[in-house]
Amino acid sequence: MIAAELTTAKNEVFQKGFLDIELDPTLDLFAEIERLKKEKNAVVLAHYYQEPDIQDVADYIGDSLGLAQQADKTTADMIVFAGVHFMAETAKILNPSKKVVIPDLKAGCSLSDSCPPPLFKKFKDQHPDHVVISYINCSAGIKALSDVIVTSSNAKIIVESFPKDQPIIFAPDKNLGAYINKVTGRNMLLWNGACMVHEIFSLEKITKLKIRHPNAKLISHPECEDPILRVSDYIGSTTGLLKYTQSDSSQEYIVATETGILHQMMKANPQKTFIPAPPTNSCACNDCPHMKRNTLEKIYLCMEYETPDIIMDEELRLAAKKPIDRMLEISKKAGL
Ligand code: 13P
Ligand code: SF4
pLDDT digits (tens, 9 = 90+) for 97-114: 999 999 999 999 999 999
Contact 314, 96 (CB under 8 A): yes
Residues 328 and 182 both lie in one domain: yes
Contact 132, 124 (CB under 8 A): yes
In a domain, 2, yes or no: no
Q: What's the confidence (pLDDT) of residue 8?
A: 64
**How many domains, the chain?**
3
* CA separation for the pair 252, 272 (Å, rounded): 6
Residue 335's Cβ-count burial label (10 Å; 0-12, 13-18, 19+) is exposed
Confidence of residue 13 (pLDDT cuts 50, 70, 90): low
Looking at the CA of 293, which ligand is closest? 2
Residues 138 and 65 both lie in one domain: no
* CA separation for the pair 137, 108 (Å, rounded): 10
Looking at the CA of 154, which ligand is closest? 1
In a domain, 282, yes or no: no
Q: What's the confidence (pLDDT) of residue 110?
A: 94
By alpha-carbon position, which residue is closest to atom 1 of ligand 2? 109
State the average pLDDT over residues 14-30: 79
Expressed in angstroms and rounded, the spacing between residue 193 Cα and the centre of ligand 2 is 12
Expressed in angstroms and rounded, the spacing between residue 288 Cα and the centre of ligand 2 is 6
Query: Does the model's pTM come out above 0.85?
Result: yes
**Is the pLDDT assigned to residue 254 strictly greater than 60?**
yes
Contact 104, 15 (CB under 8 A): yes
**Is the pLDDT assigned to residue 2 strictly greater than 90?**
no
State the average pLDDT over residues 122-146: 98
Instruction: Kindly report the CATH number assigned to the domain that includes residue 153.
Output: 3.40.50.10800
Confidence of residue 330 (pLDDT cuts 50, 70, 90): very high
Residues 115 and 99 both lie in one domain: no
- Range(s) of the domain holding residue 77: 9-109+291-312
Spatial CB neighbours of 323, under 8 Å, sequence gap ≥ 6 = 134, 143, 146, 147, 148, 149
pLDDT digits (tens, 9 = 90+) for 262-315: 999 999 999 999 999 998 876 656 899 999 999 999 999 999 999 999 999 999
Using a pLDDT cut of 70, give the percent of the chain over it. 93
Residues 117 and 133 both lie in one domain: yes
Angle at 215 between CA 228 and CA 201, to 5 degrees: 20
By alpha-carbon position, which residue is closest to atom 4 of ligand 1? 237
In a domain, 252, yes or no: yes
Residue 238, ligand 1, Cβ within 6 A? yes
Report which ligand 2 atom has the smallest distance to the Cα of 198: 2
Looking at the CA of 84, which ligand is closest? 2
Closest C-alpha to 278, from 179, 231, 210: 210
Residue 237, ligand 1, Cβ within 6 A? yes
Spatial CB neighbours of 308, under 8 Å, sequence gap ≥ 6 = 11, 12, 14, 15, 101, 102, 104, 105, 302
Query: How many Cα atoms are found within 13 Å in the side-chain-facing hemisphere of 277?
Result: 30
Residues 219 and 247 both lie in one domain: yes
Mean pLDDT of the chain: 94
Residues 302 and 327 both lie in one domain: no
In a domain, 1, yes or no: no
78-82 and 42-47: which strand pairing?
Answer: parallel
Expressed in angstroms and rounded, the spacing between residue 242 Cα and the centre of ligand 1 is 12
Expressed in angstroms and rounded, the spacing between residue 238 Cα and the centre of ligand 1 is 6
State the average pLDDT over residues 221-227: 97
Residue 107, ligand 2, Cβ within 6 A? no
Report which ligand 2 atom has the smallest distance to the Cα of 289: 3
Residue 109, ligand 2, Cβ within 6 A? yes
Residues 74 and 14 both lie in one domain: yes
Residues 181 and 207 both lie in one domain: no
Confidence of residue 3 (pLDDT cuts 50, 70, 90): very low
In a domain, 4, yes or no: no
Report which ligand 2 atom has the smallest distance to the Cα of 137: 7
Residues 210 and 183 both lie in one domain: no
Site to probe by mutation for ligand 1, drawn from 45, 49, 234, 287 as the one with most ligand atoms within 8 Å of Cβ, is 49
Residue 289's Cβ-count burial label (10 Å; 0-12, 13-18, 19+) is exposed
Using a pLDDT cut of 90, give the percent of the chain over it. 90
* CA separation for the pair 191, 134 (Å, rounded): 10
By alpha-carbon position, which residue is closest to atom 2 of ligand 2? 195
Expressed in angstroms and rounded, the spacing between residue 151 Cα and the centre of ligand 2 is 13
Enclosing H/E stretch for 57: helix 52-57
Expressed in angstroms and rounded, the spacing between residue 131 Cα and the centre of ligand 1 is 23
Residue 137, ligand 2, Cβ within 6 A? yes
